[in-house]
A = this chain, B = another copy of it.
């Protein structure tokens, strides 16, 4: 048979090696597996069915957790008047260089430019100031699932640095500072659960330094990842904004004692950027490896037949499909004109967690052959056990991916107690380096200049480090995580 061009492009053509040329491997895996595609707009990607299905599953799972915590979903307009963006100065400085501006509608020039939201603080808080008047209106905890644009001029990378991305943006207002800060733990725990249970990813939780925190925040906390190339990448975060926004936006309320106060605010986000980490972490030289809960297809069945047993093998395969499809996202790949080997390659590249091969020998023994995508391990399974076997295997695959990711992370976090040690580790191993830091922005900046490293965050949990800042030697009570990063 003749393959169409589209099919040829799709299959068997990942030739970059993850260990040799990570960035080329990364884009090949994403594009050629059909997970995403480039679009006609530079820096904006197309989520093809497997990518969007995975995002829907992440959204559903996260949203359930948000709702349990008392958070409501809302939807605010895409466009933000320029005057609103200008209300909080740090926020303005942080975002305006990347804003896409709508200046005309139809043939009419607008009186005021409208920003395509890079984030929605300013338009949301204009409404919060109308809705919040009394302590009875608090806490007000709203979240949006939407698309945002940040027109970065650095080289775009799918998911990791995309000019448009999908995310949640949670925006809460509380009557007290304590309530606002208490939200952080709950949200960070939700994000960690979603990362672990769905994306099979760990991360390092900690506080951002003042120079790295969110534009407008008092304190930012983040979950940080390490990519296969040893660079750090910032994941989900939670910001305590204090009254930085509530003052310029006049989000005031009458407290129980009859006095006016400004609301205490927080914001938090998880984005499609996490798919960059997921794909990079779990994938291999054969292609994608998608954690089972997020896989568009969880099981694919490939019948192997000759002319004389085709009907029987297909019928048997179809029965197996019938059983599995009740419980798992399953496909029977009975396409004509493609060899079994061609099909194996294709589904491996697409990252389907379990492949089931069914041939004459399986059939006559009342068995099927089951192959794990993550380890390649092959086993024969009695057809009567197939449901429970697949269920267990999907769990095992998930655990295995997560454990590997944890191992990789642990292997790439090192402690340095002197600046020489720091430079040596950075050169030889990369990853994240935990080191004592005096807390001064000066040391942070000079180490960045000299090494290209930033402080990813100040980890909540870490190995004990020395007492003196590795840069200036001053007393240090803080352990900081340094890394080169995306």
Contacts and interface: CB of A to CB of B under 8 A. Distances in A.
A153 interface: yes
A104 B98 CA distance: 10
Contacts of A53: 72-73
A345 B4 CA distance: 65
Contact of A79 (B37, B52, B56, B164): B164
Given A127-B39, A134-B4, A44 B102 contact: no
Contact of A7 (B39, B97, B134): B134
Contacts of A78: 44, 78, 116, 147, 149, 164
A137 interface: yes
Given A40-B84, A78-B116, A78-B149, A106 B102 contact: no
A389 interface: no
Interface in A139-153: 142, 146-147, 149, 151, 153
A41 B105 CA distance: 13
Contact of A142 (B49, B114, B253): B49
B136 A75 contact: no
A97 B51 CA distance: 34
A46 B73 contact: no
Contacts of A41: 77, 79-81, 114, 123
A102 to B, nearest CB: 5
Given A98-B105, A104-B101, A151-B105, A136 B4 contact: yes
A6 B48 CA distance: 44
Contacts of A76: 39, 46-47
A77 B158 CA distance: 13
Interface string A65-90: 00000001111111111001000000
Given A73-B56, A74-B48, A79 B106 contact: no
A99 B103 contact: no
A107 interface: yes
Contacts of A131: 6, 37
Nearest to A6: B133
A133 B79 contact: no
Nearest to A126: B40
A56 B146 CA distance: 13
Interface in A146-180: 146-147, 149, 151, 153, 164, 166
B73 A133 contact: no
A326 interface: no
A464 interface: no
A96 B166 CA distance: 26
A304 interface: no
Contacts of A105: 98-101, 151
A99 B106 CA distance: 5
Contacts of A97: 106-107
Contacts of A107: 97
Contacts of A447: none
Given A78-B164, A147-B147, 19 more contacts: A4-B133, A4-B253, A5-B133, A5-B134, A7-B136, A37-B127, A37-B130, A48-B74, A53-B73, A77-B164, A79-B100, A79-B149, A97-B107, A98-B105, A100-B105, A101-B103, A101-B105, A102-B116, A105-B151
12 contacts: A6-B137, A39-B77, A46-B77, A47-B75, A49-B72, A79-B164, A97-B107, A99-B105, A103-B104, A104-B113, A105-B151, A136-B335
